[in-house]
């Protein structure tokens, strides 16, 4: 894939700006090679880099990555240990159980009790655990990432074992579509659409992008991105021009690597209604890492648009360096990006 070929030489760049750009580009991309993630985890542990934790939480952690995380957690400062624990909750149950002796220091015993049921339990037992976790998530006053990951593992088992039907998913969705906010059963119905590869729901999922529910929007975007098809691009393009849906719409089109996605982003940029929304489209265009988006990045930088949402100089500098372009402002962009990094 052209996109991955562009990224690979810069995966472990020592340039802080390119390093952050690469992590951002790969954050939501569903097809990051597992060996790349292991290398990134090792770098995170070796450099004790805080900012890398959140960028890796959607990646698949293989055995090598888990070993690096365990070694890092053993020597982590108390204020950083919770970050290692968050990443360790993502590890698939079978692999976590394989390393139970080492992980029991960092994960509570009830997690391994759950994993034992997910691995060895029957349909009734897994459903009981899944419903228990959904109830706890609904009752929690604040979003609980650890509980969410446990429910995700349970949902994956239901999908893999064929223990949830299309009829059940449709029923749960219909119940939630009529409410202002989705319960976690509805959010995980969306997740299961992705886990089961149900592309017939793409239009319905795109329609959720106007909702005001951060967890639902995040899951919906992840599912749509996972399909990596122009069918998703066609549906989401209807919403990327909507100010109420542009943030997630642009992110989805920026992470689906296709010519059509690039064309729709360019068209949305040309038809932009509010100048302050340009930042979302320019970031998505840069993340495509194609030649044809260069004029749009040039225009954005020449007009001197500013936004607290992204570091424009870092974005332009990293895009140019990875693509191998020269620009008279390249070193100036770097200096500005350095100053902002130091200030931050």
Interval 279-313: pLDDT, tens: 999 999 999 999 999 999 999 998 866 666 678 99
Cα-Cα-Cα-Cα dihedral sign, residues 86, 88, 92, 94: negative
Cα–Cα distances in angstroms (integers) from residue 333 to residues 13, 142, 287, 299, in the given order:
18, 39, 18, 15
Domain parsing of the chain, residue ranges: 32-107, 109-227
Write down how long the chain is: 344
Query: How far is it, in rounded angstroms, from Cα 282 to Cα 285?
Result: 5
The pLDDT assigned to 306 comes to 66
The pLDDT assigned to 276 comes to 83
Contact indicator for 53, 83 with CB cutoff of 8 Å = yes
3-state SS, 93-129, equals HHHHHHCHHHHCCCCCHHHHHHHHHHHHCCHHHHHHH
The pLDDT assigned to 305 comes to 65
Pair of tokens at residue 151: 């429910």
Whole-structure pTM value: 0.95
The pLDDT assigned to 303 comes to 83
The pLDDT assigned to 1 comes to 60
**Which stretches in the chain have pLDDT values below 70?**
1, 304-309, 344
């Amino acid at each position: 894939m052209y996109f991955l070929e562009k990224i690979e030489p810069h995966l472990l760049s020592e340039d802080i700006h390119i390093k952050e750009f690469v992590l951002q580009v790969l954050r939501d991309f569903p097809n990051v090679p597992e060996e790349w993630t292991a290398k990134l985890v090792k770098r995170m542990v070796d450099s004790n880099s805080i900012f890398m934790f959140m960028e890796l939480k959607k990646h698949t952690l293989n055995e090598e990555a888990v070993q690096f995380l365990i070694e890092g957690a053993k020597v982590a400062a108390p204020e950083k240990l919770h970050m290692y624990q968050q990443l360790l909750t993502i590890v698939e149950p079978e692999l976590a159980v394989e390393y139970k002796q080492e992980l029991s220091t960092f994960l509570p015993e009830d997690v391994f009790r759950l994993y034992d049921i997910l691995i060895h339990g029957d349909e009734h037992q897994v459903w009981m655990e899944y419903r228990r976790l959904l109830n706890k998530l609904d009752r929690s006053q604040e979003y609980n990432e650890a509980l969410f990951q446990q429910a995700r593992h349970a949902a994956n088992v239901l999908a893999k074992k064929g223990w949830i039907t299309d009829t059940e998913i449709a029923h749960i969705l219909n119940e939630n579509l009529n409410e202002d906010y989705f319960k976690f059963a509805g959010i995980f119905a969306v997740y299961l659409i992705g886990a089961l590869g149900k592309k017939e729901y793409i239009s319905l999922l795109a329609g959720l992008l106007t909702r005001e529910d951060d967890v639902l929007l995040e899951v919906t975007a992840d599912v749509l991105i996972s399909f990596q098809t122009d069918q998703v691009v066609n549906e989401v393009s209807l919403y990327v021009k909507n100010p109420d849906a542009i943030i997630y719409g642009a992110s989805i089109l920026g992470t689906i690597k296709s010519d059509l996605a690039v064309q729709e982003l360019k068209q949305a940029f040309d038809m932009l209604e509010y100048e302050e929304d340009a930042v979302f489209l320019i970031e998505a265009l840069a993340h495509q890492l194609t030649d044809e988006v260069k004029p749009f990045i040039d225009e954005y930088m020449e007009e001197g648009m500013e936004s607290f949402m992204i570091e424009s100089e870092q974005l332009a500098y990293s895009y140019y360096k990875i693509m191998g372009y020269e620009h008279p402002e390249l070193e100036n962009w770097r200096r500005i990006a350095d100053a902002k990094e130091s200030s931050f």
